[in-house]
Amino acid sequence: MKRLISILAILSVLVGSAAPQMTQEEKEAMKFADKLIKKMTLREKFGQLEQFITRRGVVTGPGGVKCDIESAVRKGEVGSFLSIRDRNEALRLQKMAVEESRLGIPLIFGYDIIHGCKIIFPENLAMSCSWNLDAIERSARIAAEESAATAIHWTFSPMCDISFDPRWSRVSEGAGEDPYLGAKIAAAMVRGYQGDDLSAQNTIAACIKHFAAYGAAQAGKDYNTVDMSELMFRNLYLPPYRAAVDAGAVTVMSSFNDFKGVPASGNKWLLYDLLREELGFRGFVVSDWNAVHEMIIHGVAADGKDAAELALKAHLNMDMLGGDYIAYGEQLVKEGRISEKLVDELVREVLAVKYRLGLFEDPYRYGKQDLSKVYYLPENMEFAREVAAESMVLLKNEGVLPLQKGVKIALIGPFADAPKDQLGAWRGLGDEKRSITFRTALEERFGKENVLYTKACECGKYADKILEGGIEEAVKIAEQSDIVLLSMGLSGWHSGESRSRAEITIPAPQQALLDALKNTGKKIVVLLSTGRPLDIRNEVEKADAVLLTWHSGTMAGPAVADLVSGDKNPSGHLTMSFPCSVGQVPVHYNSKNTGRPPKSQFKAQGYSSSYVDIQNAPLFPFGHGLSYTEFEYSDLKVLTPTVELGGVVKVSVKVTNKGKVAGDDVAQLYVHDLVAETTRPVRELKGFERLSLKAGESKVVEFEIPTSELAYCHSDLSWKADKGDFHVWVGADSYASLKGKFTIK
Ligand code: BGC
């Protein structure tokens, strides 16, 4: 017994924190599921583990089975559907499952509600630049309300994948490069979707994805191999997934990539040892789209049956679309390759989530609301406008913004009046007709007569070119105006899944447009549309101001108008570094010193870990973001110069708004562990606070950092903080220079 206790104690040090106790609600759900399982046939059990999509009544997952979906529902052979957009269709299928199948087990409907359902908020990377956790949580809550009313019970969000690679288009779906901020955002989103009561009519199940390390796909190619040390994984990639589990997310999605040589969907170490045993996850795991079947192509399964066996043994509960569970599950049990006990466990976890959603009590509870009282509510639209403005980042400004009243504007470019592009990737059930574009909003703000518009150039899935006469018209209206607002970058189609790019510059036709406009001698403000960091050296050099507008959703236009007019002051700060060149990738602030760091981050140089042809520093670092006012950071005080291990480090700093207008800033605290057991990042974010200051106002911000937050993964994989000296910096970006020191005893 003594030995067992000490093993458990060692385990809890290794894993960081012990798995939380099961709640009463969870126990009740498991009990209910166990009772039901006793009545189920083996086929019905595998039915609960299968997720399908309908396309005119036929299941057509790539490589998956083809069957008559309605009779499959009636036979209890479908546990879930994804991507049903229509509430009546969802309710029709639900009725079929509940009233016509033998046991009447309700279906669970999942959908990619990634940054909004009807109202589309900025893409997730953009929203993370607001550093506003309350706003992010609220955006998820609004998305949940709109989804739930549509009979969607489950979203495949939050995406918790850290990434340092802007070639990978899915960075748009995440929270950037930092595990600390990523963890806070992941937890906020889970809270937003699930609320305090999963069974409430307006909350939905969250899904942590893509487990795990999908953002580290080699060379930024989507779906590519991931290979890294476990140390790196635990330090930089795991924290957001862990935070989302701790926040109570009830589902997880396995990723497409392999990890430690085994595809995630068949990776027992990932899905069982780490996720369940160590992190204490007790919900269910769904595969990514056809990912179980794709293990054949990965080369670790001979056929669908083999793939199903691998996934089941890895404790993957639900097969998205592949069809291998329902096709081969029974045979696998009959042949003794899988135990029915394991199947029961997998089914129990699925049924328990359905129970907790309240679907057994009332399978139709999510489709009852009056949609006009839920969709596009004016207060939610207003909120979407605010969060869009807070997400935008002023990268450069040489005195041209905000615009003067009465100014005549030439509004030019492919995304200035592009209602669909502004919604970005994963548009949920968003209706582009509800988008308010830059053009509409600027015309309203500055007067139609003061905004001359031309598109000049096309950029998207089908074309990347100057329109006929586009440059001439653009130059003409520029000459008739006081200032050019040039909307350029990448389209909505360029964001999200499977849009990896080797070049991360703005396409050549748009650069030609910029050059022509530059020749007019007019001041140029670039409005940068993108879902990922880009190499914008050229644009930054030529433009007088650059406002990163991202793909900011339904209300992107009014948000831009608010910022360029000065009605609102830009306050977004980057959460992913903007490289100088694709050759720097991966470039991130929390990199290591090495034994030979460059003497200067801003000069090319040899015999150091840097380049001889380009500076080491990115073009814009993590945390960067300008304002129309100026904030001064001073009086950094380490209130606890020495702290016991287990104590709390306290640091304060004074922030003053030195300018003439009110503004918001994000005070960021970074630390560095001077002598550690393994090499550590040069800086790590460990605290932040968004604050609003009137012109001339000062505030003292106090940070409290428990020493447990300074823990990291040691070479023996234990998770603990070191004693010793630390540096601490506070400021408005990851180059913050105000510095202090503390010691952990
Ligand atoms: C994506 C997931 C998504 C799923 C369902 C996959 O292709 O990788 O992020 O949730 O499709 O649409």
Indicate if the pLDDT at residue 59 is higher than 60. no
Phi, psi of 409 (to 5 degrees): -110, 135
Residue with tokens 């880009």: 534
- Interval between CA 367 and ligand 1 midpoint (Å): 24
**Two tokens at 421?**
């592009």
Q: Which residues contact 532 (CB under 8 A, 6 or more apart)?
A: 125, 166, 168, 169, 171, 172, 490, 495, 504, 576
For residues 311 and 288, the answer to whether their CB atoms sit within 8 Å is no
- φ, ψ dihedrals at 24, nearest 5°: -60, -40
pLDDT above 70: residue 16: no
Instruction: Identify the sign of the CA torsion 403, 406, 407, 410.
Output: positive
Vertex 59 angle, CA 54 and 62, to 5°:
115
- Residue 721, pLDDT above cutoff 60: yes
**Residue 54 pLDDT class (50, 70, 90 cuts):** confident
* 9 pLDDT higher than 50: no
One-letter amino acid for residue 127 of the chain: M
Which residue has a Cα nearest atom 2 of ligand 1? Answer: 288
What type of residue is 698? S
pLDDT band at 4 (very low <50, low <70, confident <90, very high): very low
In the chain, % helix, strand, coil (3-state, to 5) comes to 35, 20, 45
How far apart (Å, rounded) are the C-alpha atoms in residues 354 and 205? Answer: 9
pLDDT exceeds cutoff 90 at 214: yes
Nearest CA to ligand 1 atom 10: 156
Distance 289 CA to ligand 1 centre (A): 6
- Res. 21 pLDDT band, cuts 50 70 90: confident
- Span from the CA of 82 to the centroid of ligand 1 (angstroms): 10
Q: Which helix (H) or strand (E) holds 631?
A: strand 631-638
Helix (H, G, I), strand (E, B) or coil at 240: helix
Q: How many helices (H) and strands (E) does the chain have?
A: 21, 28
Q: Of the given ranges (33-37, 319-323, 526-530), which has the lowest mean pLDDT?
A: 319-323
pLDDT at residue 3, rounded to an integer = 46
The DSSP secondary-structure symbol of 614 reads S
Q: Which of 124, 147, 286, 497 to mutate to test the pocket of ligand 1 (most atoms within 8 A of CB)?
A: 497
Residues contacting 664, CB < 8 A, separation 6+? 390, 569, 571, 627, 690, 691, 692, 693
Cα angle at 679 between 677 and 680, to 5 degrees? Answer: 105
Torsion sign (Cα): 20, 21, 26, 31: positive
pLDDT score for 55: 66
- The better pLDDT of the pair 134, 322 is held by 134
607: left (phi over 0), alpha (psi -120 to 50) or beta: left
Question: Which atom of ligand 1 lies closest to the CA of 210?
Answer: 9
Instruction: List, for residues 589-633, the tens digit of each pLDDT value.
Output: 999 999 999 999 999 999 999 999 999 999 999 999 999 999 999
Task: List, as one string, the DSSP characters of 192-228.
Answer: HHH-S-TTSTT--B-EEEEETTGGG-GGG-TT--B--
C-alpha distances in angstroms, 441 versus 136, 358, 401? Answer: 24, 42, 17
Answer whether 557's CB lies under 8 Å from 389's CB: no
Closest atom of ligand 1 to CA, residue 207: 10
Instruction: Record the tokens describing residue 534, joined without a space.
Output: 């880009």
- Which of 289, 321, 429 has most ligand 1 atoms within 8 Å of CB, for mutation? 289
Residue 69 confidence (pLDDT): 87
Please name the residue whose Cα sits nearest to atom 5 of ligand 1: 289
Greater confidence, 143 or 14?
A: 143
Q: Which atom of ligand 1 is nearest to the CA of 157?
A: 10
| Cα 732 to middle of ligand 1, angstroms | 35
Q: What is the pLDDT of residue 18?
A: 57
- Residues at CB less than 6 angstroms from ligand 1: 82, 112, 156, 209, 288-289, 497
Alpha helices in 249-338 (DSSP H): 268, 295-298, 304-313, 324-334
Tokens of 562: 């608010």
**pLDDT at 11 (0 to 100):** 45
Is residue 56 over pLDDT 90?
no
464, β-bridge pairs: 459
Q: What percent of the chain has pLDDT over 70?
A: 96
- CA-159 nearest atom, ligand 1: 9
| 3-state DSSP assignment of residue 507 | coil
Active site residue 319: no
Among 45-59, 105-119, 482-496, 653-667, name the one with the lowest average pLDDT.
Answer: 45-59
Determine the residue of 288, 319, 499 to mutate for testing ligand 1's pocket, defined as the one with the most ligand atoms within 8 A of the Cβ atom. 288
What's the whole-number average pLDDT of the chain?
Answer: 95
Whether 688 has a pLDDT exceeding 60, the answer reads: yes
Which residue CA neighbors atom 12 of ligand 1 most closely?
112
Query: Within 10 A of 720 (CB to CB), how many other CB atoms are there?
Result: 16
CB burial of residue 449 (10 Å; 0-12, 13-18, 19+): exposed
Q: Where do runs of H (alpha helix) occur along 314-374? A: 324-334, 340-356
Q: How far is CA 569 from the centre of its chain?
A: 25
Contact 700, 727 (CB under 8 A): no
User: CB 208: neighbour CB atoms within 10 A?
Assistant: 32
Structure tokens at 613: 């042809």
From the CA of 288, how far away is ligand 1's center (Å)? 6
pLDDT tens-digit map of 404-420: 999 999 999 999 999 99
Q: What is the pLDDT of residues 547-567, one digit of tens each?
A: 999 999 999 999 999 999 999
- Rounded to whole angstroms, the Cα distance separating 516 from 477 reads 12
Q: How far is CA 357 from CA 284, 493, 652, in A?
A: 13, 34, 44
- Residue 395 to residue 566: CA distance in whole angstroms: 16
Which protein residue's CA is at the shortest distance from atom 7 of ligand 1?
Answer: 289
| pLDDT at 81 > cutoff 90 | yes
Where b means 16+ CB within 10 Å and e means fewer, 8-39 reads eeeeeeebbeebeeeeeebeebbebbeebbee
| pTM listed for this prediction | 0.97
How many alpha carbons lie under 13 Å from residue 703 in its C-beta half-sphere? 31
User: For residue 66, what pLDDT is reported?
Assistant: 61
Burial of 405 by CB count in 10 Å (0-12 exposed, 13-18 middle, 19+ buried)?
A: exposed
Q: Which of 288, 319, 544, 562 is catalytic?
A: 288
Atom of ligand 1 nearest to the CA of 114: 10
Q: Decide the pairing of beta strands 712-713 and 719-720.
A: antiparallel
Q: How many A from CA of 291 to the centre of ligand 1?
A: 10
d(CA 155, CA 153): 7
Residue 183 has pLDDT above 70, yes or no: yes
Spacing, Cα 201 to ligand 1 middle (Å): 25
Q: Render pLDDT for 420-437 as a digit per residue (tens, 0 to 9).
A: 999 999 999 999 999 999
Dihedral pair phi/psi, residue 471, rounded to 5°: -65, -45
Instruction: Name which of 275-284, 479-488, 600-609, 686-695 the model is least confident about.
Output: 600-609
